[in-house]
Amino acid sequence: MTTIQKPAAVTLSLTEQAAAEIKKVMGEEKVDLATAGLRVAVMPGGCSGFRYSLNVEERPDAEDVVVESQGVRLFVDGFSAPYLNGTTVDYKSTFQESGFAFENPNATGGCGCGSSFTV
């Protein structure tokens, strides 16, 4: 039987703008704010090797680390934790575009789209 270990603590934070946008989305999805949160994950793929993934979920998995930032619960799995440690998630909105931006100290490179990175 394989045992999945919970990752060590991870430092992950949201800016006020990101938290406000996430709370708005969670309200639209009508999830229970006492148990729900935002899954922040790293997935293999993208033009630079890894891409970020954000999903609202009803509750964390047993092996997740749960971090609270700006009143939002963030769920991080064991694979993603080392890649996300120290990351700040922001929400930027300009006349031309809007979306989440990641300030990740672990990334050694990225691409023009801003949604994938290299470590």
User: Model-level pTM?
Assistant: 0.82
Of the chain, the end-to-end C-alpha distance in Å amounts to 31
User: What domains lie within the chain, and their CATH numbers?
Assistant: 12-118 (2.60.300.12)
What are the pLDDT digits (tens) for 20-64?
999 999 999 999 888 999 999 998 876 667 888 999 999 999 999
- Full DSSP string of 2-50: PPPPPPPP--EEE-HHHHHHHHHHHHHHT--TTT-EEEEEEEE-STTSE
